Structure 1
Amino acid sequence: MKIQITLLLIGCAASAVFAAPQAQGEAGASIVSQESNIEPDGSYNYNYETSNGIKGEETGTLKKATSPDTSDVIIARGSVSYTSPEGNLITLNYAADDENGFQPQGDHLPTPPPIPPAIQKALDYLLSLPPAKRR
């Protein structure tokens, strides 16, 4: 009796696994292409694409740090793209370095509202003053 129950449970578990439909999207995605290259000087590049349309690429170069307290740094540039659940192509381009940090760019990123003209005029006036009078 115990063997029959055990076999029944194994059969149910196996049927649930094998009968489950393949998930669309991230869970069922596979890698379509992938390349990477690392050079002896520390520079690199890679790119990939998945079956659900996600693509990415990055190039990095090693740079001597400007500060003596910091070791060498990597300057990276790349992009990632995917299709949103609403069907829109989302592309994020970016650059990253030790001087400016991470700098993302993309049409989907929020932007600040425009500065009202009166405020901009006041800011321009303050910038026109000598540094000692700005305080």
Structure 2
Amino acid sequence: MKLLVVLSLVALVAAAPKPQAPRQAAAANPQEVQILKLETENDGLGSYRYALEQSDGTKKEEQGELKNAGTDDEAISVRGSYSWVGLDGVTYTVTYVADENGFQPTLEQGPGGVLSPALIASLTG
């Protein structure tokens, strides 16, 4: 049951719409965002890792590991982050853990960010 909850949370995070970011000079046309880096590993036994970087400044990294395989407490523990460049030119990064304790995000913003600490706290619970 815990595995189902964790997998559901991971699926929600993966399917959630990401904030739109302005395109950097490398992608003058917003429709021409290029993948600069894509790395994937999957051992087929419950552990995986991937990393993605795009020309618009968007980045995503994640790794997952099966814990307590074959027991009633079997669950996937996921750690990762994604970042984007906001319309204000500031880089925003969400770092998260999703495990038997649920989805636990932390939002960070670069210098000059417009999100208040109270808003960040409300978004991350």
Aligned to 2:64: 60
**How far did residue 106 of structure 1 move?**
1.3
**Is 2:38 the partner of 1:34?**
yes
From the two aligned structures, give the one with the greater strand fraction.
Answer: 2
TM-score calculated relative to the size of structure 1? 0.56
TM-score calculated relative to the size of structure 2? 0.60
**Is 2:46 the partner of 1:45?**
no
Aligned to 2:80: 78
**Is 2:93 the partner of 1:91?**
yes
Unpaired stretches in structure 1, ≥5 consecutive residues? 1-21, 113-135
Unpaired stretches in structure 2, ≥5 consecutive residues? 1-27, 110-118
Count of residues paired in the alignment: 85
- Tell me the C-alpha RMSD between the 2 structures: 2.1
**How far did residue 74 of structure 1 move?**
0.8
**How far did residue 73 of structure 1 move?**
1.6
CA distance in 2, matches of 1:92, 1:43: 22
In structure 1, the residue corresponding to 2:36 is in which secondary structure?
Answer: strand
From the two aligned structures, give the one with the greater helix fraction.
Answer: 1
**How far did residue 41 of structure 1 move?**
2.7
Structure 1 stretches of at least 4 aligned residues deviating more than 4 Å after TM superposition: none
Find the structure with the greater CA-based Rg. Answer: 1
CA distance in 2, matches of 1:28, 1:84: 18
**How far did residue 30 of structure 1 move?**
1.5
